[in-house]
């Protein structure tokens, strides 16, 4: 692990073709392990003004995204590992293969194991 908190910011690129999420997730986990934040992400839908934004995110075991609100309706799919989402008194325990609508309130997300998740957000105009 380095003292770097996050990877260098890069402009998303339109993919040349299909993306193998398992390989992209494995690469992100490698990146996350090198960063003091313990997380890394890649935007999969880079076009400006799209109505659907998808982000592949990797978190090292024990790392978290602090309390936040989704900008609009959002879902999460767990591709690897397991996570816990706390939203007020509601707790979602999600493991590999799980899919859920994210709470429409402030929530956090903690990786119970090394995890790769796919976040999908419906952008509002």
The CATH number that applies at residue 34 is 2.60.120.10
Residue 80 resides in a domain: yes
Burial class (CB in 10 A: 0-12, 13-18, 19+), 66: exposed
| Number of domains the chain is built from | 1
Residue 9 resides in a domain: no
Residue 15 resides in a domain: no
How much of the chain, in percent, has pLDDT values that exceed 70?
83
Q: For residue range 34-81, list pLDDT tens digits in order.
A: 999 999 999 888 666 678 889 999 999 999 988 877 777 899 999 999
Range of the domain at 32: 21-122
Residue 10 resides in a domain: no
pTM, entire model: 0.83
């Amino acid at each position: 692990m380095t003292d770097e908190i996050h990877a260098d910011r890069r402009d998303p690129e339109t993919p040349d073709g299909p993306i193998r999420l398992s390989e992209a997730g494995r690469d992100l986990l490698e990146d996350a392990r090198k960063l003091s934040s313990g997380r890394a992400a890649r935007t999969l839908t880079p076009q400006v003004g799209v109505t659907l934004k998808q982000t592949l995110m990797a978190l090292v075991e024990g790392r978290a995204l602090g309390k936040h609100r989704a900008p609009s309706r959002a879902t999460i799919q767990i591709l690897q590992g397991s996570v816990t989402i706390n939203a007020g008194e509601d707790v979602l325990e999600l493991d590999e293969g799980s899919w859920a609508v994210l709470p429409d309130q402030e929530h956090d997300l903690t990786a119970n194991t090394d995890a790769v998740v796919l976040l999908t957000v419906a952008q509002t105009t």
